[in-house]
Amino acid sequence: MNTKYFNNLLAACLVGCAICAALTSCKDQPDKFELTGGIPTINYIRPAKASASDSLLVQAYPQATICLVGSNLTSIQQMYFNDKKAILNTSFITENTLIVQIPSDIPDLVTDKIYMITAAHDTLTYDFHIVIPAPVVSQMSCEYAAPGSVATIYGSYFIDDPNVPLTITFPDGKTAEIKSINDSRSTVSFVVPECTTEGQVTVKSIYGSSKSSFRYLDSRGILFDFDHGNAVTGAVLGCHGWHNNLTITDAENPISGKYLILGNAKLDEDGSWDDGNFSFEYWPGNWQDPEDYQGDGVRLSDLADFSDYSNMSYKFEMYIPKSNPWSAGAMQFIVGGVDKISQGNAGVKDIYGNVLAGCNNTYFNNDELPRGIYRPWEATGSYDTADEWITVTLPISEFKYGMSGGAATGSLTSSDFTSLVIFVVGGGIKGTECTPIIKIDNLRAVPNK
């Protein structure tokens, strides 16, 4: 075949295919967005939801999704709320409507206007007020942070106005010295004042004040502080199972007296079973018949109310030194009622008529019993707390895993919170061999709000 003829034929075919594709594309996308010329007109603004389309808006909160209604809205190329640029999705722009989410960033310059820039660089404005909420106070880096130390509160809308500075007030009325606020106003670091009073922390900005859901020096639902007698039997609770040789000490870097140490032993990449060094067991009962749960065998459900457990969390302070980071195994939080585990002989009844299961480790060694799994090293491969105490929060609503880290097949009830095992083991994800030191104190069960 003539090469020149073949090349010309091929080129003609390719051009023909391109024309067909373009015609097909236009036919298949009759509503494809095209930026138009001219000037847009805004008649009004309403909520984006069709169910609320008859409501008109003159203000809204950051991150709210709104709908501008007018004409020639396809001429809008850029949009700003005050001085913060919004992201325009052309899939939500038509001739007469434009749906957009208000930026989450707090404006530096407040003008209470929407700025619309066209392709011809014309700028139009529309009056609209962005309502800035009062601070949202979500978490504190350490709820037992010592006076004079630097702590951090996490949340949002931490705005330090030059005329109305941001303030952090502790339960006794003392205010903290603010050290820094990050650019997104979601964290604020401060020096903890001399406060010995338990309670909520208040953060106040020019836009209002809010109290924390957490409590500084929180003593609600304390199960183990390793120092003080509990309110029911007066006993100081600690290890109460097969392994009672774990270190409980206040020898180095205490946060509030004595604390528990897990580890300080080698843990392989699979987090293999080593309950002698990595397991804390508390099983209720004292080998009585009938069992009355006196002394150091009290049921944990007598120390904290678990009737609304799905809206509660376990909290504790934790310290992992930089010298001994954690990089394998999952910290499993395992609960079970007296029908699953107890300190005593199997088959014995308690004073309430329950038949006790006795001592065993089979009740949790499967994927049936839901438990919480804490594995902070997973994201980076290794984890420590930078030689500081932090507060860890484990929502009980997330207690849904089995021993191997997959979904549990069973379910929990409010009667399953009489005991607790903390065991760094398995979890289904391979890590790296390590010799972690994990210090734990002030373990408590508290409402989420």
Task: Tell which residue, 250, 167, 162, has the closest CA to residue 201.
Answer: 167
Question: What is the pLDDT, as a whole number, of residue 31?
Answer: 63
The rounded distance, in Å, linking the Cα atoms of 262 and 277 is 6
pLDDT number for residue 425: 97
Whether 308 has a pLDDT exceeding 90, the answer reads yes
Q: 11 falls in which pLDDT band (50, 70, 90)?
A: very low
Question: What's the confidence (pLDDT) of residue 244?
Answer: 76
DSSP code per residue over 98-138: EEEEPPSSPPSS---EEEEEETT--EEEEE-EEPPPPPEEE
Query: Which one-letter DSSP state was computed for residue 24?
Result: H
Res 32: pLDDT: 78
Predicted confidence at residue 52, as pLDDT, reads: 74
**Is residue 20 pLDDT above 60, yes or no?**
no
Query: What is the residue type of 62?
Result: P
Segment 421-445, tens digit of pLDDT? 999 999 999 999 999 999 999 999 9
Tell me how far apart the alpha carbons of residues 336 and 408 are, in angstroms, rounded to a whole number: 14
Q: pLDDT by residue (tens digit) across 62-84?
A: 999 999 999 999 999 999 999 99
pLDDT, tens only, 351-363 = 999 999 999 999 9
Q: What is the pLDDT of residues 275-304, one digit of tens each?
A: 999 999 999 999 999 999 999 999 999 999
Give the whole-angstrom CA distance, residue 94 versus residue 75. Answer: 10
Nearest to 213 by CA among 347, 393, 69: 393
Q: In sequence order, what are the beta bridge partners of 127?
A: 113
Whether the pLDDT of residue 120 is over 80: the answer is yes
pTM score of the predicted model = 0.86
Exposure of 436 by Cβ count < 10 A (0-12 exposed, 13-18 middle, 19+ buried)?
Answer: buried
d(CA 50, CA 216): 44
Residue 6 is predicted with a pLDDT of: 38
- Mean pLDDT, rounded, for 400-418: 97
The Cα 396–Cα 394 span in angstroms is: 6
Cβ 382 vs Cβ 327: under 8 Å: yes
Percentage of the chain with pLDDT > 90? Answer: 88
pLDDT, tens digit (0-9, with 9 covering 90-100), for 226-253: 999 999 999 999 999 998 768 899 999 9
The whole-number pLDDT of residue 50 equals: 78
- Say yes or no to pLDDT of 15 above 90: no
pLDDT at position 30, please? 53
- What local confidence, expressed as pLDDT, does residue 42 receive? 97
Q: What is the pLDDT of residues 213-225, one digit of tens each?
A: 999 999 999 999 9
pLDDT tens column, 256-275: 999 999 999 999 999 999 99
Rg (CA), the chain: 30
| Residue range 169-196: mean pLDDT, rounded | 97
Q: What is the mean pLDDT of residues 354-375?
A: 96
The pLDDT score that the predictor gives to residue 255 is: 96
The tens digit of pLDDT for each residue in 23-55 reads: 444 345 556 789 999 999 999 999 998 777 778
Amino acid identity of residue 244, one-letter, is N
| Mean pLDDT (the chain, rounded) | 92
Q: What average pLDDT does the segment 93-104 reach?
A: 96
> Beta strands 420-424 and 331-334: pairing type?
antiparallel
